[in-house]
Structure 1
Amino acid sequence: MLQSDFSSTSTIYKDTSPAGTLCYIDPEYQRTGLVSPKSDVYALGMVILQLLTARPAIAVTHVVETALENDELACVLDQDAGEWPIDEAKELAYLGLSCAELRRKDRPDLKNKVLPVLERLKAVADSAQRSTSMTRPTPPNHFICPIRKDVMVDPCVAADGYTYDRRAIEQWLEESDSSPMTNLPLTSRSLTPNYTLLSAIMEWKSTT
């Protein structure tokens, strides 16, 4: 079992047999038989690269390195995970590669280097999620009044068969006898409430 006290500058190495898949085991363990906190950093780096790309651990470091060198990281990112913020994805990719360095001494310190980056990236992700949740989704087109270009409050059907917000169509009819949609004369100024559409709009508002 690996023991590490982050509050201390000393590192305790154990001569033990770590369990796990070969691709995640510290390469230096295979040479020295010793594990340390940097062994966990190596495994973390491999996990980060796999989370970014959804590729097998074998050769994933080469794939990401090549993509970064050619400025083509977006091409190897996991497309099923959605749209990646490229700057943050690059930073995470570089972090993963540094953690997965073959030599233990070249890997960053978990407490002082790795965790601060992960915490900052998490804060960015949390902020983006809050911003997205506060943005109301685009309403369906048939909820929009053709005159006001906004979601209808009191939808009514006019003589031309189109639905408008009552206040908007009443103001229109004060100045015109033609249809706002077809520009043809209206046979009547009567307005019929569109209760079905009103119900759909109210339901949409209650869930957004």
Structure 2
Amino acid sequence: MLGIVASRIVEKYYRPTVVIGFNGREGKGSARSIRGFHLVDGFRRCAEHLEKFGGHEFAGGLSIAPDKLDCFAEAFEAVASQWLTAENLLPLLEVDGSLDFAQIGHPLLRELDILKPFGVGNPEPLFMTSAAQVCERKVFSAGVRYRLRQAGRVISGVIFGVGDDYPGMPGESIDIAYRLGENEWNGNSTVELKIVDVRPAEPVSSLESRVSS
């Protein structure tokens, strides 16, 4: 559970994160990191405040005494401040592949099922599609729903935790990063995009001028 919480915090704030829970006089922690901050190397710089620790570059765990928590937090933040640059703190999405909507369907979902379970060390694949046209956009209490057209096909997608000012108005073209999901309703199953990020599509003329230069 601590690892899930740490992962969610990193996803939202894009900062190295340590979540610690205490049971009496013993504290157990789980940590997740970002590009540019090797988690275990960071723990080594704070080892005097820890009972034990382990892991790798992007995920780790630790044990700590309650009276060492404040000192560890201060030391860990100091190391992060020394190692991380402003560029490191810019969220970076690493996609696993680019798809046209014509490639998306239940056969692809079944292939992805073979890769489960997803988690640390086996993240759920992240895809992107360029220049999808927004056919419909609905803002609801938890986020925004889209109907998108690309490669002659229309697919629905949803992103949570955003509001009315989020990009992608009807008629606009957007680039999207997403994971694939399955939506079942009234006995029917459809493929749905679990959208992670959206940006305005780069104009073709801009791409052409860059290539020609």
**TM-score bracket for this pair, using the shorter chain length:** under 0.3
Higher helix share: 1
Whose strand fraction is larger, Structure 1's or Structure 2's? 2
TM-score w.r.t. the length of structure 2 is 0.24
> What TM-score comes out, normalization by structure 1 length?
0.24
